[in-house]
Structure 1
């Protein structure tokens, strides 16, 4: 017991002072590896514009690995199925309540799977829509109307949902926006520069919020 207390205290301390991000790999067959240029581009944008010093060589970590505790921010995306084992869910829960932050960006089609699996992580908590005046929408850049629309998909309004632990937002789920597509190299989706800029600025807000909270 003492070993695990010391271990988690050390990891918690690391989370408080680290400025690193990683891609979360999950089971179930979904394409966790989609948008390969997205996170590197966002990291470079943050380093250039909001005074972060994040390693631009992005690592991948598995949901059930203790390695997730090295990163105060994890990014997760995909189009399809997601599965968390009981061990994955417990590890993610410990990570999030210990100071970590998870951003899940629906790359179109992920929503029904991830919402089901998140009940394993927080059985007594539901995803709730984040109000437009929440700090995550103005931590670095101001988005008075909330989450920006980057890709059309079903043509629905973008929505930002979250899970809170002791009043702290620990998990952000972005739906009908597809921020990650906007972070990718311009030639991948041919998004106009102003659309990419909105995506990157909102991404910078997420990074800044995660590091400061």
Structure 2
């Protein structure tokens, strides 16, 4: 977070999680997660300087934060809310309207997707009966997206195959749902790189055109993605 390139990134991924300690199977790594949300401070991973840099990134530089949670109940949202209270206390978390641009920035979606596997036996994996995305708006720009349906975990679950034994059929559900999750994530990335002041493609020239010496005929801006659907 102290790297100068931090302010050049149009989107950053942040996943606040509850207190966790443990070790990997090979025993080489043990201890607590980086983004902590229990204790006196909202996150053990933040210093005051880091929190200020995040504020600079989001408010003044036009950066975008993607933050997944496992549901929209009070318990599921608490880690994200504690982090947001630390870094953006003057802004409110609100429900993103179903007709917001983020659902049509590349693919045409009818709204947010719903995490396909809600529980495993009596263990609840995803909390809340309804689907929605929440966010923080700064000057009418969506600056922080809280993905209460955690589409990123549909994608990594499709790769990791986390279910086994009696519940291994849930892996097939993730596989089938992964393309839809990918479309929503692509929309999020496209929105992030086309809003704010970090990404500026007004003088965009493809590397292939530079290599071929066709600078005069090369496009000077990124193509309009929606026109190619």
Q: Which of residues 46, 51, 65 is equivalent to 1:89?
A: 51
Separation (CA, whole Å) in 2 of partners of 1:125 and 1:78: 18
Change in 2 beyond 3 A, CA 1:114/1:145? closer
Structure having the higher Rg: 2
Whether the 8 Å CA contact 1:137–1:147 is kept in 2: the answer is no
Counterpart CA distance in 2 for 1:85 and 1:155 is 32
Deviation at 1:207, TM superposition (A): 0.5
| Distance change (3 Å), C-alpha of 1:94 and 1:191 | farther
Runs of 4+ in 1 over 4 A off after TM superposition: 107-110
Match of 1:203 among 182, 185, 192: 185
Deviation at residue 78 of structure 1 after TM alignment? 5.1
Task: Name the structure 1 match of 2:131.
Answer: 158
Match of 2:154? 182
Q: 2:62 matched to 1:99?
A: yes
For structure 2, the 5+ residue unaligned runs are 19-35, 38-42, 119-125, 163-170, 196-229
CA distance in 1, matches of 2:76, 2:127: 13
- Tell me the residue number matched to 2:15: 77
Change beyond 3 A, Cα 1:191–1:137: farther
Asked whether 1:114 is paired with 2:80, we answer yes
What is the RMSD computed on CA atoms of the aligned residues? 2.1
Query: Do 2:70 and 2:150's aligned partners in 1 also have CA atoms closer than 8 Å?
Result: yes
| Number of positions where the alignment pairs a residue of Structure 1 with one of Structure 2 | 150
Residues 135, 142 of structure 2: 8 Å contact kept: yes
The aligned counterpart of 1:137 is 103
Q: Kindly indicate which of the two structures has a greater share of residues assigned to helix.
A: 1
